[in-house]
Amino acid sequence: MIDPTAIGRRVREEREKAGLSLAQLAARSGLTKAYLVRLENQAANPSIEVLGRIAEALDLTIADLVGGPVIRYVGDEEEVPASLRAFAEQAHLSSSDLTMLASIRWREGERPQTVDRWEYVYHSLVMSRQIDKERASGDEA
C-alpha cells in the first residue's frame, strides 16, 4: 500500500534534489504548477500516468518516486562492481543514478574500488550538474 502523503513528500524531495523549481517540473512533466503544489502539500492519489510523467521529468522510475522496491540491477552483473552496488544501497541511489555511474567508461585501473571513492565520484557529478544549471540559469537572465 502506498501512503498518499509520502508521494508528495517524495516528489518534493526528488524535485529539490534535482535542483528544479515547481515551475520547471511543471514544464518538464506537462502538469500545472498548481497541481504539483497540491500534490506536494496534500495527501494525493495521482494516476500511474501522472506518476510516470513526474518520474520521467525527474529521471526516475515510478518505483523510485513512490518508495517502492528500486531496481538495482544494471545490465550484466559484471558491469556493476560490488563496491558500486554497496554504495548504491547505502546512499539509496535511484536506478537512473546507478545506471549513470555504472555506464562511466574508465581508463584501465581507474575504476573506483571502494564505496568512499564511488561516493566521491557521485557527489562530484552532482556538483557538476548544479554548476551547469546555475550557469544555464545565469545565461537566461
pLDDT tens-place string over residues 28-41: 999 999 999 999 99
- What whole-number distance in Å separates Cα of residue 115 and Cα of residue 33? 38
* Model confidence, pTM: 0.52
Q: Distances in Å between the alpha carbon of 43 and those of 10, 75, 82, 106?
A: 12, 36, 38, 44
> Average pLDDT of the chain?
83
Cell of 118: 564511488
Q: Which residue has the cell 500500500?
A: 1
The ranges assigned to domains in the chain are 4-66, 77-140
User: Under a CB-based contact definition with an 8 Å cutoff, are residues 69 and 87 in contact?
Assistant: no
pLDDT bracket for residue 116 (50, 70, 90):
very high
Q: Which residue has the cell 559484471?
A: 78
Report the range of poorest mean pLDDT among 14-18, 50-54, 92-96: 92-96
- What whole-number distance in Å separates Cα of residue 15 and Cα of residue 25? 7
CATH class label, 4-66: mainly alpha
The helices-and-strands tally (H runs, E runs) of the chain is 8, 0
